A and B are shown apart, each in its own frame.
Chain A
Amino acid sequence: MSSLAVALTGNPNTGKSTIFNELTGARQKIGNWPGVTVDKKIGYLSHQGRNISVVDLPGTYSVNARSPEEKIVIDYLLNEKPDLVVDVLDSSNLERNLYLTIQLLEQGIPLLLDLNMQDEARRHGIRVNTEKLGAALGMPVVETTARSRDSIHTLLDVFTSTVMEKYQPSEKVRAHIANIEKLRGSGLAADALEEKIIEERYAFIDAVVDECVSVAGVDAATSEKIDAVLANGWTALPIFLVMLYAVFQITFEWIGQPIADALEEFISGPLTETVAESLEAWEVADWMQSLIVDGVIGGVGGVLTFVPLIFILFFCLSFLDGTGYMARVAFITDPIMRRVGLTGKGIMPLIMGFGCAVPAIMGARALDSEKDRMTSILVTPFLTCGAKLPIMALFAAMFFPDNAANVVFAMYILGIVMAIVAAKLLGSTVFQSQGSTFLLELPPYRMPDMKTVLLETWDKGKGYLIKAGTIIFAMSVLIWFLGHFNSGGMTEEMSESFLAALGTGMSKLFIFHGFDTWEAGAAVITGILAKESVVSTMGILYGVGEISAEAEDAVETAATMMQTGMGTAFTTLSAVAFMVFSQLYTPCVTALGTIKKETGSWKWMGFSAVYMFALAWLVSLLVYQGGRLMGF
């Protein structure tokens, strides 16, 4: 039998993605719809011997084709003509959900109505008479509770049956369509006509809901009680800060960091040793041994150790998003975010930026206005991502052994302050004329579906793994090559390599910054390729790699490193200047590539690279020269 094409459509926050994930599990592909930055999710499964493909269309409130998402939904349904269109509805909020339904019925698209969130609706005393609803619209109705296997089976059985073949829009729907046609023919101006049509649709929906939905014994919804605490005036902000603090503790102290440390220990210890010994035993050429051990394992391994941190952070954020709390965070932080030239909705991508700028830049897709989206994309890379953290941690431990944590914290604050300054500047110059609006549904609090949370975490974090496997791998080989060769061939002396030549060139820019050594210059160059490379480049150049592997802990590492060339190459002040520069300058190539993809323009990518470099150069210069004036 031929395969069956199913499309899921519906409003945001209806549990549509949970149904999609329950249906297809991990057998899904996430790509992009052509020409736009909207996720395209397709999953595959088979049921009763039939292969089924399921497309999870973007969640939309309507199909007016005003946003890219809405255009995708209607174009897909009209042009691709899937065998079965499932309209996922939140049973506790039918009125608004039915708007999309009636719009699709007007387009002559037959629908399987999936009354989801049945359990939640019942708890709120809402009863939907499915038979009446089916009769009122002339379409089949299925009741589901997204997370129950029974529900999913019911759905699948309907998919493979021939249920859709005998359905026709009801008399009422046909009368409604006739009404709309009459309005269109009445010669009203476009705006007034649109308004009339929307009112007509809601009049139809109100009649259907009156007939099919009964509400009994409603108590003040649980969500409202929770919001009275979590989203109410001033108490909301301290609670948010505590939540944020907990997320960072989980990531950088309790769960993420210990895993990262174990991984680091394994890579720099047993793995490196085993590989080095094996290569030795197989009598592999010396240069090849050096390439694999110093170049590839050193470079890729260094990145892999951040993977646990990034995955744990994204897991926490996806979990909070699934509960509905992130919508409240957007609500309560909007007053602050708006004043700095951003929007409350931008808080989630911004927090992701502390993990990795790449998914954070992609997360800006969720923002409504072009101004908000562009500003968010352009300021996110100022934040301290997971790869910049080791730079700060290392320098702080070396030059401020008694105050390391405070110095690292100060660098985080610097990143945030610069992001705010840049957002203000962009808002009053480049995007001055553009307005910003804020319209956001606050969905009911829910226990998130773990499968959905895990799949989302994977989706956001996998980019980082891919980066480690591709760009970091290539860059590690390149950096190794540059560091071990010069025009005369291979060289033992790194100070005579291509890298030294490039580093010397770059260092000319930092004559007034106190760190104009070729080593620092080389680290700045490799940092544009990947921020992880800054520390590893310095490690290699100052010959501190072996020391750090043997040292017991970070403090000891730092103390030992002070005795290497690195300790003497920087003064305390020039170390701060270098930290400031590293915190703020040009994003890594992966982030730049993402900016190009998300803005669709080389111009914005180039702008981002140049303006961040310039600002970093300036601020770092001010710090160094200012510090000297003050006698440091």
Chain B
Amino acid sequence: MTLKEGTSGQRFVIRAVTDSPLKNRLMTMGLVPGTAVTVLRSAPLGDPMALRVRSYHLALRRDDAASIQVESMAN
């Protein structure tokens, strides 16, 4: 699955970042394979989403999050 479908409170591990205009920036900001991501909350209408990754918070549109392949992590 991709991070686009993530809902508040879910935790994931990034498997891959596929080609997209943001790929380089996402990876540079620490979203590399193996990194844990927690979905914190969503803006009104459910998009964009706020994430916790590597001890900081990041806001991202769901369409942009579609390029991040993730695997659900057991709590």
Chain A interface residues (CB < 8 Å from chain B): 61-62, 64, 66, 92-96, 99, 126, 191, 194-195, 198-199, 202, 223-224, 227-228, 231-234, 236-237, 327, 330-336, 338, 344, 435, 437-444
Contacts and interface: CB of A to CB of B under 8 A. Distances in A.
Contacts of B32: 198-199, 202
A440 B55 contact: no
A334 B60 CA distance: 10
B45 to A, nearest CB: 4
Contacts of B26: 439
B64 interface: yes
Interface of B: 17, 19, 21-22, 24-30, 32-33, 35, 40-48, 50, 54-61, 64
B64 A438 contact: yes
A441 B62 CA distance: 15
Given A331-B59, A439-B58, A344 B28 contact: no
Contact of B61 (A191, A437, A443): A437
Contacts of A66: 24-25
Contacts of B25: 61, 66, 439
9 contacts: A195-B17, A231-B41, A331-B48, A331-B59, A438-B48, A439-B58, A441-B57, A442-B56, A442-B59
A330 B50 CA distance: 12
Mostly helix, strand, loop or mixed at chain B's interface?
A: mixed
A232 B49 CA distance: 10
Contacts of B35: 202
A73 to B, nearest CB: 13
B43 A227 contact: no
A202 B41 contact: no
Given A95-B55, A437-B61, A442-B58, A199 B41 contact: no
Given A64-B28, A334-B43, A334-B47, 14 more contacts: A61-B25, A61-B29, A96-B54, A194-B24, A202-B32, A227-B50, A231-B43, A231-B50, A236-B43, A334-B61, A437-B61, A438-B59, A439-B64, A441-B58
Most-contacted residue by chain B among A61, A64, A94, A332 (CB, 10 A): A332
B21 A435 contact: yes
B58 A332 contact: no
A190 to B, nearest CB: 11
Most-contacted residue by chain A among B17, B25, B46 (CB, 10 A): B25
A41 B22 CA distance: 29
Most-contacted residue by chain A among B21, B32, B42, B56 (CB, 10 A): B56
Contacts of B30: 95-96, 99, 202
A438 B61 contact: yes
A552 to B, nearest CB: 46
Contact of B58 (A195, A335, A336, A440): A440
